[in-house]
Amino acid sequence: MIFDKSLQFSDAQVITATAASTNSIDFGPGGRVYGAAADIPRDIARSVHLPLLIQVVEAFNTLTSLTISLELDTTTTFTPDKTIQLASIPLANLTLGAQVYYAELPQGISMRYARLKYTVVGTDPTTGKITAGIVDGVQSNGTP
């Protein structure tokens, strides 16, 4: 797989406590018809395959599990306006090289900005790193 820096949420980000991804993605402003008072409603992932890959690049320790959510907002303040839980991964599955792959970002992304939120469940880990982002494809080594 190839990560594009402009579509990357985390690049070997150290997760030692609950945290937001280092980077956020700006999907750009919505379009507006000439003379209209508001932008045209949009759905970023509708009819488009936007694969999301989350990969463990350093094994985790001590935590019980790691919950990963997609946070969406209309501004860069990330209140957030909407949160979509993607996964809850137990420690046993947070080994070096482990991948969480989504064939598509969920539909319903109508806001301009997105980031990931890593929520530590249990004891804060002293080791563990994540690389995550929107990719063109994922290497499967022949497994479905």
| pLDDT, tens digit only, all 144 positions of the chain | 677 888 999 999 999 999 999 999 988 777 778 888 877 766 665 656 778 899 999 999 999 999 999 999 988 999 889 898 989 999 999 999 998 877 667 776 778 899 999 999 999 999 999 999 988 776 666 555
pLDDT at 40 (0 to 100)? 73
d(CA 93, CA 108): 28
pLDDT at 61 (0 to 100)? 96
pLDDT at 136 (0 to 100)? 77
pLDDT at 122 (0 to 100)? 95
pLDDT at 48 (0 to 100)? 67
pLDDT at 14 (0 to 100)? 97
pLDDT at 4 (0 to 100)? 80
- Domain membership of residue 87 (yes or no) is yes
pLDDT at 74 (0 to 100)? 87
pTM: 0.85
pLDDT at 46 (0 to 100)? 60
Whether 86 contacts 68, CB under 8 Å: yes
Question: Residue 103: which residues within 8 A CB-CB, separation 6 or more?
Answer: 49, 51
Provide the residue range defining the domain that includes 119: 3-26+43-135
b/e code 47-63 from CB counts within 10 Å (16+ = b): eeebbbbbbbbbebeeb
Report how many domains make up the chain.
1
pLDDT at 66 (0 to 100)? 96
- Domain membership of residue 140 (yes or no) is no
Whether 83 contacts 20, CB under 8 Å: no
- Domain membership of residue 120 (yes or no) is yes
The CATH number of whichever domain residue 15 belongs to comes to 2.60.120.1110
- Domain membership of residue 143 (yes or no) is no
- Domain membership of residue 7 (yes or no) is yes
d(CA 85, CA 66): 11
